[in-house]
């Protein structure tokens, strides 16, 4: 059940050539946006505020109400290299999930954060348990019922 079993969802989002991340909170019906450059992206984010309540209503017949969008405040002049926005997007998700302040991730330690993400992915790729599970994975059957129209 949305807002009982699952109370929030984190989403990395590509906006042009830039990565941001969002936290969709099903309990408070809000979307928190994290952008290391402190920019606003209403054209990319606002459609989520309209679409998510419709999806939740379609799968769980609850009240449909548009979600509010807020942008997290970011320290000034992050991502000076202009090439670490993807790392910032992932680390901002991690900070938000763990209740840590965003200022812990900055240009002084973003290179190490990038290396840690790469190492974690490499570790997962050679994990025998994960390899075995992936070898046994069967994709779910596709649903052949009629499409649900979102109002």
- For residue 147 the two structure tokens come to 């499409």
pLDDT digits (tens, 9 = 90+) for 107-145: 999 999 999 999 999 999 999 999 999 999 888 777 666
Residue pair 79/36 in contact by the 8 Å Cβ criterion: yes
Model confidence pLDDT, tens digit, residues 5-60? 788 999 999 999 999 999 999 888 899 999 999 999 999 999 999 888 888 777 66
Residue entry with tokens 């763990």:
98
Q: Compute the distance between CA of residue 109 and CA of residue 124 in angstroms, rounded to an integer.
A: 23
Give the predicted TM-score (pTM) of the model: 0.79
Phi first, then psi: give them for residue 77, nearest 5 degrees. Answer: 60, 50
For the stretch 90-106, what's the b/e string if a residue is b when 16 or more beta carbons lie within 10 angstroms of its beta carbon? bbbbebbeeeeebeebb
């Amino acid at each position: 059940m949305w807002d009982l079993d699952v109370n929030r969802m984190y989403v990395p989002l590509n906006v042009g050539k830039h990565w941001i991340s969002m936290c969709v909170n099903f309990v408070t019906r809000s979307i928190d946006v994290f952008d290391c450059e402190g920019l606003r992206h209403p054209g990319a984010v606002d459609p989520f505020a309209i679409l998510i309540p419709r999806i939740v209503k379609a799968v769980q017949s609850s009240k449909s109400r548009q979600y509010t969008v807020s942008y997290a405040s970011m320290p000034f002049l992050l991502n000076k290299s202009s090439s670490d926005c993807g790392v910032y997007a992932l680390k901002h998700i991690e900070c938000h999930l763990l209740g840590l302040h965003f200022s812990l991730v900055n240009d002084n330690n973003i290179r190490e954060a990038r290396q840690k993400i790469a190492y974690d992915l490499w570790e997962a790729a050679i994990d025998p348990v994960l390899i075995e599970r992936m070898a046994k994975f069967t994709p779910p059957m596709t649903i052949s019922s009629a499409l649900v129209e979102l109002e």
